[in-house]
Structures are given as C-alpha cells and as structure tokens.
Amino acid sequence: MTSVYVPIYDAMTDTLTPFPLPAHRPQVVDFLRDRRSNLAKAMAGPGPDADTRDKILEIAARVPDHRKLAPWRFIVFEGQARSSFGQHISTAFMAANPTAPADRAIFEGGRLTRAPLVVAVISSPVDCPRGTPKWEQELSAGAACMNMCLAAQAHGFAAQWLTEWYAYDEIVNAALGLETGQRVAGYIYIGTATTGSLPRPRPNLENITQFYGQN
C-alpha cells in the first residue's frame, strides 16, 4: 500500500516524472466510507509525536488551492501552550459573560487541554491579482481542515473539527494575531480516542443528489 511519489527532475529534457495513474485502493475507500470523528472531550494522550504531527500538517497543506496561494496557515497548540492560550479564552468568556461563575471561566480556559494536540486552521485569503475569489480560498481552508482530520485519523488518532464560540470571538482572535479578513476555519483536536463513536445519521443520497436532466 505504501507509495511515495519522489519527484525526479530530468535536466536533459527539463521534465518531471509524472505521478502514477490513479489506482484502486480498497483500504483507503473503506477508511473514507467508515471514517468517524471522535469527541474532543473523549480524547486523551498520547498525541502524535513530532514526526507524525509534521506529516499530518504536511497532508493538511496538500489540498486543492486555486493558483497556489496557500490561503491558510496553522497555529499549533501543544503542552503548556494549550493552557496559556486558554487564559485568553477564559478572559474573553468573562468579558462576554461577566456574571458567570469563576469555575465556568476555568472550564472555558481548559478547552484546548482536552486533546494533546490542537491546531487552529486560519483562513488567510489574499487579494489575488489573477482573480481567485476569496470564496474559493476559504473553501480551500475548509479542505485543509478536512485533510488534517483525515491525516490524523489515518495515523490512528482521534480527530474533531470544532469552532465552538471562541473561533468567533474578537478577543481570542486578536490573541491569535488574526489580521483583517482572516478567520478561524476550525480548531482541529487530535489525540487518542478513549471511547468509540456511535454511528451518526448520514444524509440520504437521494435527498442531496440530482441527476441533471432527469425528473
């Protein structure tokens, strides 16, 4: 199953070796068909080691991206960084809910500590001189989130794509260093599953699919 494409450049002909043609990969098909997220609150350590984490990020960045703009970036939270960033989440929560009990602020500040690894995917669209619409760039950020989940799950880890309230909070986003037009596409929680996920109802294909030209 292992196939690693190694680019080979031929200077004589100024060509690159093309990728192999698409092949049927039943294991991948099964994985995609049965894949399921796990709840962040049901995650534990260990998380991926540094090498695996980097592979997951590399795969996340390997998404369709019209005109190669890379209109997304990743902010990684591991170890102590999760709770130190949590202080901003806690502060933002208390600013929005000044009468909330103190233990709630502590709970909010601990959100990122539910998993050993959390990655904020930041949608960072640019004014493309050649006209790639911002919408397409934002879609690409969503694709990066999904690929990150897939990559983590394919490595045997639990993953969940969350936004919760703090992805939309100005105080929290300022602490992330977001610039105008940048948004959190998701916080991807990655860890070890402590319990299996139950089946989730999926849409009936008939309800979401139309065959153009047929009734």
Ligand X SMILES: Cc1cc2nc3c(=O)[nH]c(=O)nc-3n(C[C@H](O)[C@H](O)[C@H](O)COP(=O)(O)O)c2cc1C
d(CA 160, CA 146): 9
Question: What count of Cα atoms within 13 Å lies in the side-chain half-sphere of residue 205?
Answer: 1
d(CA 55, CA 108): 30
Question: Which stretch, 96-104, 128-136, 161-169, 172-180, contacts ligand X (CB under 6 A)?
Answer: 161-169
Q: Which of 15, 16, 31, 36 binds ligand X (CB under 6 A)?
A: 36
Q: Which of 59, 164, 181, 192 binds ligand X (CB under 6 A)?
A: 164
**Least distance to ligand X from the beta carbon of 65, Å?**
18
Do residues 104 and 97 touch, judged by C-beta distance below 8 A? Answer: yes
Asked if omega into 46 is within 30° of 0 (cis), the reply is yes
Name the residue with tokens 């199953």. 1
**Least distance to ligand X from the beta carbon of 148, Å?**
12
154 interacts with ligand X by CB under 6 A: no
**Least distance to ligand X from the beta carbon of 134, Å?**
17
Q: Which of 84, 97, 163, 195 binds ligand X (CB under 6 A)?
A: 163
DSSP codes of every residue in 1-48? --------EETTTTEEPPPPPP---HHHHHHHHH-----GGGEES---
**Least distance to ligand X from the beta carbon of 149, Å?**
7
130 interacts with ligand X by CB under 6 A: no
Question: Which stretch, 57-65, 113-121, 133-141, 158-166, contacts ligand X (CB under 6 A)?
Answer: 158-166
User: In Å, how far from its chain's centre is CA 121?
Assistant: 6
**Least distance to ligand X from the beta carbon of 102, Å?**
24
d(CA 87, CA 94): 11
Binding mask 55-74 for ligand X (x = CB under 6 A): --------------------
109 interacts with ligand X by CB under 6 A: no
Name the residue with tokens 């170890």. 79
Residues of this chain that interact with ligand X (CB under 6 A) are 36-37, 160-164, 186, 200
